[in-house]
Amino acid sequence: MARAAGRGTGSDAVKPLVDVVALEQVTSAIAAGCSVLLSGEAGQGTNQIAQAVADRFSGGLDVAIGVYKGSGKQFFQGLAKQLGCPLETEPDEKGRSRPLTVEQLKEEIAGNVGAETLIVLPESKRLPASVRYWIEDLMGDGVRVLATAVVNPGRDIYLEMVEVELALPDDQVIRSAMQDEARRRGVSLNDAQLAKLQPLAGRNPAIARKVVRNEALGLRQQKPEHSQYLDISPLILAATCTLGLLRFIGMGTGNKSLYIVGGVAMMIGLSLKYLGKIQGAKRRYGQ
């Protein structure tokens, strides 16, 4: 998968990785009039892709980026300002105006958006239900929405969105992120040291940079932060079914030993299968 490096905002800025394939998929879906949910682990660059999409459509659509940081009024004021909506009431007879309330801001924005509007919502998991329901009404009026999240919440507005999921980067990208962080920190790490640290990073650039920072500070990380593992339950299930065949063969041929061995082996296989589920489902970094 092709990937390109984005630009930092200073000498110490970390260069974000932008998944070019995902960027094109999101752009195509937005251009087709769809709302999109971009999902990926924290540190994979979902917000950088969202910003890149906003930049692409800024000339043809009315684009607003809304980041919810705990204050609904600030959130709606930010959207209203970007969309050219008034933030204050009309002056009264004494020439005085007052800031619009949250409900007034909602009504003002809803009355000035439509099919030519794109609202970008980074870190959409922060949005309270009241904001999501308001966004749902906008989507019903044709407004396009691009939201980012670690996983698909599978409720309200997200059910109406096309999902684009970022693929985890390969080992070469992770090694490159570790080398860049080491150079930025002035740390010299040879190939053997990088190979020793890389299992702690998994396949997440943010964790890879954090591992190098810990190494530079002398903080020895014992366990990986990621929870990536191979799901072999289909293999166990297939092997269990195969052992079950022995039981039926023994039953059909009258071979008591084969019947007993096959039955016991099948029960052991099923027990191992269900015990393996104790680990639980894979969780993404940032979930």
Q: Are residues 56 and 20 in the same domain?
A: yes
Q: Are residues 198 and 146 in the same domain?
A: no
The total of structural domains in the chain comes to 3
pLDDT digits (tens, 9 = 90+) for 164-220: 998 877 888 888 888 888 898 888 888 888 888 888 888 788 888 888 888 888 877
Q: Are residues 9 and 139 in the same domain?
A: yes
Q: Are residues 9 and 126 in the same domain?
A: yes
pLDDT digits (tens, 9 = 90+) for 53-96: 999 999 899 999 999 999 999 999 999 999 999 999 888 787 78
Q: What CATH number should be reported for the domain holding residue 29?
A: 3.40.50.300
CA separation for the pair 1, 167 (Å, rounded) = 9
Query: Environment class of residue 255 by beta-carbon count within 10 Å: exposed (0-12), middle (13-18) or buried (19+)?
Result: middle
In a domain, 252, yes or no: yes
Range of the domain at 153: 3-165
pTM tops 0.75: no
Q: Are residues 147 and 266 in the same domain?
A: no
Q: Which of 102, 145, 138 lies closest to 121, judged by CA?
A: 145
Find where tokens 């059909």 sit.
Answer: 252
Q: Look up residue 226 and give its two tokens.
A: 């990621």
Q: Are residues 123 and 160 in the same domain?
A: yes
Q: Quote the pLDDT of residue 124.
A: 93
In a domain, 144, yes or no: yes
The Cβ-side half-sphere exposure at 201, using a 13 Å CA radius, reads: 34
Q: Are residues 130 and 42 in the same domain?
A: yes
Structural domain ending residue among the three candidates 165, 182, 199 = 165
Q: 216-231: buried (b, 16+ CB within 10 Å) or exposed (e) per residue?
A: eeeeeeeeeebeeeee
Compute CA distances 114 → 36, 61, 63, 94, 140, whole Å. Answer: 16, 10, 11, 35, 10
Q: Look up residue 262 and give its two tokens.
A: 């096959």
